[in-house]
Amino acid sequence: MHTFLCNFGSLWAPGWSSLAGSPRLRAHLNWGPPVDWYESVFEVIDLRSFSNLWYWIGLAVLWSSVSHWVLGIPHDAILRARRNSPETALDDLHDLARVNVNRILYIYEVSGAWLALIGSAVVTTLSITAFVYNVEFAQAVFFMAVPMMLLGALSTRTAKVIKTRGLHGDELIRTLMRHRFLTQFIGVVSIFLTATYGMWVNLYTGPFGGF
């Protein structure tokens, strides 16, 4: 910065170079050591995910949202249809199930192979980056992405069952509730494994990256 000011000022103001280089001006401007932008940015943005509160909040919100939306159907709509209150609640559930099941199966038929290929590549990359190169951010993403892929496969299977069997009424409600139970089971296991591994990482490396 000092060299730039001297060169720039010499073009517009005579004697600026000598003025900018004077000890009095340097003392007045209080030139400090050069700023390490890389170090400054990563002091603010901490990529050590398992010691970051926002990661655990995001994990809880993720599984809470996934458990509430069963194949894209809100859980309260299923409860209203099971109580049949109001009387149109069951018809609304049938409409929601038909729309979301057709949407899921359409995505599966059109781009299912590409999604499986890209998902496999992403999981492989995350696995190598996380557990071979020991990148904590990749480890945190791995514990979120892999259960979501399992849940996507489960959702596709449930949608196929509803479509092929033509489920409606109590059978449809039981199938959706069973899917929600399996989703919650996957979520509990995933959160337990993530918390266990995260605690081990924090105990091993310390909260600031060392013992």
- HEC string of the chain equals CHHHHHHHHHHHCCCHHHHHCCHHHHHHHCCCCCCCHHHHHHHHCCCCHHHCHHHHHHHHHHHHHHHHEECCEEHHHHHHHHHCCCCCHHHHHHHHHHHHHHHHHHHHHHHHHHHHHHHHHHHHHHHHHHHCCCCHHHHHHHHHHHHHHHHHHHHHHHHHHHHHHCCCCHHHHHHHHHHHHHHHHHHHHHHHHHHHHHHHHHHHHCCCCCC
pTM over 0.75: no
pLDDT 10s digits, 168-207: 889 999 999 999 999 999 999 999 999 999 999 888 775 5
Which pLDDT belongs to residue 107? 93
Percent of the chain exceeding pLDDT 70 equals 74
Q: Where are the domains of the chain?
A: 1-34, 47-205
pLDDT of residue 106 exceeding 70: yes
Local confidence band at 48 (pLDDT 50, 70, 90 cut-offs) = low
The residue-averaged pLDDT of 108-127 equals 92
pLDDT of residue 4 exceeding 50: no
